[in-house]
């Protein structure tokens, strides 16, 4: 997002809007499960690394996963898109270990059962 902020103003995402990080905040999904009357609740965050063969592969994966990013890219001129892609790949390269890129990830898992 920092690469895109150089060219366009980005407002903070609506916390209620669907997206990659919609339920990332600790306790949020758990609270929804509680409100729904579910039982046997557990909430855990697991961390790890996602590996990519190259910065190009990471950028392609990012564009596939983050639909809003595609819309933002479409607002840029071609030279701006090229510069943003270079900046994103440069940032990904900071996580290079050996021949691959390993980016830190976190996944929230909530378990509940219907009473």
When pLDDT is cut at 50, 70 and 90, the band that residue 20 belongs to is: low
Mean pLDDT, the chain, as a whole number? 88
The model's pLDDT over 30-72, given as tens digits with 9 standing for 90+, comes to 999 999 999 999 999 999 999 999 999 999 998 888 777 788 8
Give the list of residues 6+ apart from residue 18 with CB closer than 8 angstroms, or none. none
Q: What is the pLDDT of residues 71-113, one digit of tens each?
A: 888 888 999 999 999 999 999 999 999 999 999 999 888 899 9
- Tell me the H-state helices in the chain: 2-5, 28-35, 55-65, 67-74, 78-93
**63: Cβ contacts below 8 Å, ≥ 6 apart:** 69, 70, 73
pLDDT for 25 equals: 81
């Amino acid at each position: 997002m920092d690469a895109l902020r150089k060219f366009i103003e980005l407002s903070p995402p609506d916390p209620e809007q669907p997206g990659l990080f919609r339920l990332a905040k600790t306790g949020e999904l758990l609270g929804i499960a509680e409100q729904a009357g579910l039982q046997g609740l557990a909430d855990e965050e697991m961390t790890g690394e996602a590996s990519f063969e190259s910065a190009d592969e990471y950028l392609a994966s990012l564009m596939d996963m983050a639909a809003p990013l595609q819309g933002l890219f479409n607002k840029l001129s071609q030279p701006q898109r090229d510069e943003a892609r270079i900046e994103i790949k440069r940032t990904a390269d900071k996580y290079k270990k050996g021949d691959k890129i390993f980016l830190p990830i976190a996944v929230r898992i909530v378990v509940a059962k219907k009473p």
